[in-house]
Amino acid sequence: MSNEAGKPVSGSSIEVTHLVLPPDTNALGTIFGGRIMEWADLAASIVAMRHTRQACVTASMDALHFIAPIHLGDIVVLKAAINYTHTTSLEIGVRVESENPKTGIRSHAASAYLTFVAIDAQGKPIPVPAIIAESEAEKRRLLEAQMRRQDRLTHRQGIQAARQQS
């Protein structure tokens, strides 16, 4: 399955929009964090499937940061792209922006990193194509994703060591 030459990040990147409606909001008139998580997971899953052309499952969502509120009636723009691939996994970054429909002004509202794993018909992990980072921003995101992956592995090893000691 692995494509030695890789695939460009731009080949699977997406931009999705949603309108914030009353069922999406809390008593303060701002969007539920869980709705943003849902939309980010959906956008990232589309990117993962487009890149791999395989079924992909969410392995984790980390570093989800809410930066600014999103209000009833705002347009939500989610930009999702692959940052990094490993053997069977992909890290996908999602930037969430709120857009005022009257002024067109966009604000950075949230960011998240999601890890997906490509699977076969039996649910077993399978290799994924590498990415080709073309722009300077894509190259920067690739390096940052490699650091996040190393941090996750170091954290996991630390937890395992602590469990063995107790």
41 within domain boundaries: yes
Place of tokens 């993962």: 48
72 within domain boundaries: yes
- Token pair listed for 3: 């494509």
- Give the confidence band of 63 by pLDDT, cuts at 50, 70, 90: confident
22 within domain boundaries: yes
47 within domain boundaries: yes
Q: Is 63 helix (H, G, I), strand (E, B) or coil?
A: strand
Our separate counts of H helices and E strands in the chain read 2, 7
Whichever domain contains 151, its CATH number is: 3.10.129.10
Per the structure, the complete domain to which residue 75 belongs is given by: 7-165
Which ranges of 31-75 would DSSP assign to H, the alpha helix? Answer: 33-52
Overall pTM > 0.85? yes
24 sits in the region (left: phi over 0; alpha: psi -120 to 50; else beta) called: alpha
- Give the confidence band of 57 by pLDDT, cuts at 50, 70, 90: very high
Angle in degrees, CA 93, 95, 97, rounded to 5: 170
43 within domain boundaries: yes
- Give the confidence band of 4 by pLDDT, cuts at 50, 70, 90: low
2 within domain boundaries: no
Q: How many structural domains compose the chain?
A: 1
Using the predicted structure, report yes or no on whether residue 102 has a pLDDT greater than 80.
Answer: yes
**Which one, of 78, 86, 162, 75, lies nearest residue 127 by Cα?**
86
Q: Is 103 helix (H, G, I), strand (E, B) or coil?
A: coil
109 within domain boundaries: yes
Q: What is the arrangement of strands in the sheet containing 14-19, beginning at the earlier edge strand? A: 14-19, 75-85, 89-99, 106-119, 55-66
1 within domain boundaries: no
